[in-house]
Amino acid sequence: MIIAQQLGLIVLSLMLLLAIMTAVKWLARHFEWSAELQRKSVHVATGIYALTLPWLFTSRWPVLAIAGSAAVVLLILRMPGLARSGLGSTLHSVERHSYGDILLALAVGIVFFFSHGNPVLYVLPIAVVTLSDAAAAMTGVRYGSRFLSVETGTKSLEGSAMFFLVTWIVAMILLLLMTDISRANVVLLSLVIAAFGTLVEADSWHGFDNLFLPVGLHLFLSSHLETPPLPLLGLTLFFLATLVVALSLAPRVGLSSHAARAYTIAIFMICAVTEVHNAALPVLVILAHLAARHVRPCKSHYPDLDVLALVVVVAVFWLFLGRYAGHDAINMYNLSFAGAALVFVALAAGRRLALTAVGAAVLLAVTILVAGRNVEAIQWHGSLWPWIVASFVLCMVIPVLRPQLLDRYRGPRTLALALPVPVTFFMAKALIL
């Protein structure tokens, strides 16, 4: 397909998004559709179109362009006038606060990029977030009577049951049609996907399921599509056992059940994608956050969930950037988590500089140890030492001198401190090589 045709399809895709929203707004006005029905209608229609992208485009860049442009358009539609009575009202008339529309656009681009060459790794996650999520939402609104408490409200058990059922059916159909794996493996893998997806959807907030769910399912599928039934069953039982342990320990460290489940899912996904030792620093980030929260409470509404978002964003960011640039980014990923953990350690230590220094030394040792366990083939970037020092200085000085800057929005502000040095390091080395 020539570039002109691809550019034309990009423009048509954006026009289709606006046309869908216009049609839904017209139907809602004439048939008195509820705000939730309007939102889910746009969600399903755009999701169904997204399922056709592997057959419309052979290159990654047009889909990334569509995803990025759609995110910008959806951001513009959040402007007060458009969100209240314009096209944006089809998405933003619901009472709850959600970023789901923008996150879904980003998820489409990310999952398409990761799954290039294997359509099932794209189609199955997008089909689940399109169909299962809509079925669960409408079931919960219409029939929900028993609810599960989460930080941002409640999720109905009826909706979660419908999500599980639809996901299991969709996964079995697509795995049978699009793969050559055995029937037994199709049934078991679909069951695991449904259970895992239901947990992710139930524990997401502010529409983050539109990002976490497709990306999480893609990563799980890409790692275990060919895993035989017995190892897959063993992995599932190990995850469930870990989840039980996390839930039992949660009250002792001041974590809600929701946050404990979400942290367990995130760490499990990291372990499923990379070597287990590369989960050490994300775990230290969580532990350091809990210590900092106890010593200097965060004033944000959902500090535990903010840190979970930090963990997921860092992991997905480096996975995407590494594959896009063609250089393994695992050491920059670990350096980012080491910096984030140091921010929390400095907050937990307060003005006790000796304690902060001890924490920095421990994190330095862990970072070097983990980097040493990664294979020599990915040590393309040379010595880590100067970059570790630069990152640690930035991540230690700000929370020590101006800790009040991290009293609100601690997750995103920690991200702003932990990422600049690793990103600069990676880009400088990648461009040179």
What residue spans define the domains of the chain? 1-114, 274-433
φ/ψ of 148, rounded to 5, equals -105, 125
pLDDT for the residue 367: 93
pLDDT for the residue 302: 81
- pTM summary value: 0.85
State pLDDT tens for residues 52-81: 999 888 888 899 999 999 888 888 887 766
- Own/partner contacts of 277-280, CB < 8 Å, gap of 24 or more, are 277/370, 277/373, 278/330, 278/333, 278/334, 278/370, 278/374, 280/366, 280/370
Compute the distance between CA of residue 328 and CA of residue 317 in angstroms, rounded to an integer: 12
- The CA–CA distances, whole Å, from 197 to 124, 145, 213, 326 equal 11, 22, 6, 30
pLDDT for the residue 239: 85
pLDDT for the residue 356: 93
State pLDDT tens for residues 154-182: 678 888 899 999 999 999 999 999 999 98
CB 133 within 8 A of CB 123: no
pLDDT for the residue 149: 65
Query: How many angstroms separate the first and last alpha carbons of the chain?
Result: 31
pLDDT for the residue 31: 80
- Per-position b or e across 134-168, b if 16+ CB within 10 A of its CB: bbbbbbbeeebeeeeebebeebbebbbbbbbbbbb
DSSP H or E segment with residue 149 = strand 147-150
Compute the distance between CA of residue 220 and CA of residue 185 in angstroms, rounded to an integer: 14
pLDDT for the residue 143: 78
CB 71 within 8 A of CB 46: no
Q: Flag residues of the chain having pLDDT under 70.
A: 1, 80-97, 144, 148-154, 376-378, 431-433
